[in-house]
A and B are shown apart, each in its own frame.
Chain A
């Protein structure tokens, strides 16, 4: 991790308690590891994307970075400060520098508050209410391209895209350096997705923001992220620069995800990597390479030996038999 990284996460673990005393006594695990040893860094002004399917631990990871979910081990350094172990009451200034956006555009806005109150809230929380709140609200509305009369609307009167803009405005209200965005385009129609992504890109450029984007939508990643990581069962299976990963995925899971994206072209010949079986339970992680139960390329060793984390090209991957290393062509290469 470079020292000038805005955020660097090292070997982060997040546990959830499951079951009670009885199941512990019955020998069942008392914890699941939603995030199991993850490391990455985000440099200033750059965007990092976390990709994975449901249950991969990407949202948990994002919440751990923001301190909403206590981490059980590892390190999170933000602007040079270690965040793990920061007492509860010292989080406030940190959160001013690092804001978060949540999945549900409407649901992440307090339903009984007007847009005005919602946008003023960051200032009130951080004791900045002496500022001219109305001016700030108007500034923010203008910033995200909403007319000023929206200040008096309530969340349920907003469309998904409008609500998302309000969410973005709140996130940038206090000039943070890092925005964590959990599925910023979820629930939005494609025509609106573009608006939101454009807005985020704009703001990043204008305000010099860094972003951590969590998504399952690979197309979004390609449009917005500089670096990306693919998560499976709480671990990174592949992490690196975005474009090379799209063109030459090395981990079979990454390749499968990429190939699973139907493209809007009826003439496209699909050459899919089909993933058999279901995602294993976190309570019962597979041995060896945790992907071996679904990996079409798995061999004997995969079931027993945990693959090391290696650099292949510019990407760090966890696989015994990475793809695209020699002359093997991408299985699913888009154009």
Chain B
């Protein structure tokens, strides 16, 4: 009960900011439409109907159809599920791994810190796409591969931020105080460090969700995204690019949800950041 009241208070604070309200609205819209895709969609997302291909937007097909006559509106709705599950799954996994590695690097012995930093830097020095291509070539295109790519790409960033903050907190007085009382490393990390570093990173992660959607779209564009006929926004875009000359609406159908989701999460993340952690303003 208390929690609900707290969440409601936070929501009210977010909604007070115009951009926050817009962001929250968009996110809610995307999440709901993904959740209720089966209710809202009038066609199965993978149903082929070559006879209806390249139909422009109409009442039958709100966003038109693609090159094999699939209803784009339905695909966009179901694509939301894919995008959100990749975004949440991959971001969640990256967070867990990144936080763990960051805590280890920041609090653990120096040599381990050095090794981890080296690995992070090495990973970071690969251009993302090349890392992604190499990985997807190894694992074959699939939802898991996309998640793996995202994890590899984002873990170093999270881990580094957590590490830096852990290093700072390691010598903070409240941590010293806990140590002086005899608290072990596990307690210090979980009780005294983690709660103080996790807020900013969660906000940053919410702002990374659109990046994940973009990575998925980019891999699909290179034919290395999720497996067909899975309706992902990236693969809709890819189909759209192939037919952009005469059927612009396919690219619009694929691009619009990406842009809206990105804007939604970014605005929401920013509002949260400004409300709860103004210190973070310095980073994008």
Q: Which of A99, A107, A109, A112 lies in contact with B180, CB distance below 8 A? A: A99
Residues of B within 8 A of A170 (CB): 177, 181
Question: Which listed residue (A107, A113, A122, A126) contacts B173, Cβ 8 A?
Answer: A107
Whole-angstrom CA separation of A92 from B183 in the bound complex: 8
Q: Which of A95, A102, A104, A107 contacts B182 (CB 8 A)?
A: A95
Which of B150-158, B190-198, B230-238, B271-279 lies at the interface with chain A?
B190-198
Residue A68 interfacial (CB < 8 Å)? yes
Partner of A110, one of B180, B184, B191: B191
CB distance from A188 to the nearest CB of B (A): 15
Q: Which listed residue, A91, A92, A100, touches B177 by the CB 8 Å rule?
A: A100
Q: Does A121 contact B (CB under 8 A)?
A: yes
Instruction: Let me know if A102 and B177 touch, CB within 8 A.
Output: yes
Chain B residues with CB below 8 A from A126, complex form: 182
Nearest-Cβ distance from residue B170 to partner chain A, whole angstroms: 11
Nearest CB of chain A from residue B140's CB, rounded to whole Å: 44
Contact B174 A108 (CB under 8 A): yes
Q: Does B172 contact A (CB under 8 A)?
A: yes
When the two chains form the complex, which single residue of A96, A108, A122 contacts B176, counting CB atoms closer than 8 Å?
A108
Q: Is A29 an interface residue when CB atoms closer than 8 A count as contact?
A: no
Q: Complex: how many Å from CA A109 to CA B172?
A: 10
Which residues of chain B are within 8 angstroms of A92 by Cβ–Cβ distance? Answer: 182, 184
Q: Could you mark each residue 22-42 of chain A with 1 if its beta carbon is under 8 Å from any beta carbon of chain B, else 0?
A: 000000000000000000000
Q: A125 contacts B181, CB within 8 Å?
A: yes
Whether A121 pairs with B181 at a CB distance below 8 angstroms is yes
Flag if A110 contacts B182 (CB, 8 Å): no
B47 interface hit (Cβ, 8 Å): no
* B187 close to chain A: CB less than 8 A: yes
B97 close to A (CB within 8 Å) = no
* CB-nearest residue of chain A to B175: A110
Q: For residue B196, which residues in chain A have a CB less than 8 angstroms away from its CB?
A: 110-112
Residue B252 interfacial (CB < 8 Å)? no
Decide if B173 touches A102 in the complex (CB within 8 Å): yes
Tell me, in angstroms, the Cα distance from A80 to B192 when the chains sit together.
32
Task: Report if A201 contacts B (CB, 8 A).
Answer: no
Residue from B176, B187, B196 whose CB has the most chain A CB atoms within 10 Å: B176
**Once bound together, how far apart are the Cα atoms of A96 and B180, in whole Å?**
9
- What separation, in Å, do the CA atoms of A104 and B173 have in the docked complex? 7
| Residue pair B177, A108 in contact (C-beta under 8 Å) | yes
Q: Give the distance to chain A from B109, nearest Cβ to Cβ, in Å.
A: 12
With A112-B195, A112-B196 already in contact, the answer to whether A107 and B174 are too (CB < 8 A) is yes
Contact between B187 and A125, CB atoms less than 8 A apart: yes
Q: How far is the CA of A27 from the CA of B192 in the complex (A)?
A: 40
Residue on B nearest A102 in the bound complex, by CB = B173
Q: Which residues of B contact A101 (CB under 8 A)?
A: 177
Task: Decide if A99 touches B191 in the complex (CB within 8 Å).
Answer: no
Q: Are A68 and B176 in contact (CB under 8 A)?
A: yes
A73 to B175, CA, bound (A): 25
A155 nearest in chain B by CB position: B174
Task: Determine if B12 is an interface residue (Cβ-Cβ < 8 Å).
Answer: no
User: Smallest CB–CB gap between B237 and chain A, Å?
Assistant: 42
Give chain B's interface residues, CB within 8 Å of chain A: 172-184, 187, 191-192, 195-196
A–B complex contacts, Cβ < 8 Å, 9 sampled: A93-B182, A102-B173, A108-B177, A109-B177, A110-B174, A125-B178, A125-B184, A167-B177, A180-B180
